[in-house]
Amino acid sequence: MSDEAGSRAGDVLAFLVKSVVSDPDAVRIESEEKNGTLSLEVHVGDGDMGRVIGKRGRVANAIRTVVSAAAAADDLRTEVDFAD
């Protein structure tokens, strides 16, 4: 992430997702800030979406919780979406 606002949340998200997937080079995160909410969209390589989502969405929810805590340090709210 290059912009200052939300860079902590984006960096944490990138670290967590790259730690879970089998092809970390394929991870791409798009960000957009609107009205104090940082929207982050995660794209991963083929076959890695299941790893990121986890059983019953537990891994995805854990990632969202940690990213939300990181964004709180920057006084931001976050939305994390996992796209195919």
Report the pLDDT value the prediction gives residue 1, as an integer from 0 to 100: 45
pTM as predicted? 0.88
Report the pLDDT value the prediction gives residue 33, as an integer from 0 to 100: 85
Mean pLDDT throughout 32-41?
88
Report the pLDDT value the prediction gives residue 5, as an integer from 0 to 100: 54
Mean pLDDT throughout 48-76?
93
Mean pLDDT throughout 46-61?
95
Name which of 71, 15, 76, 2 is nearest 42 in CA terms: 15
Query: Domains in the chain, start-ordered, CATH in brackets?
Result: 7-83 (3.30.300.20)
Mean pLDDT throughout 74-79?
89
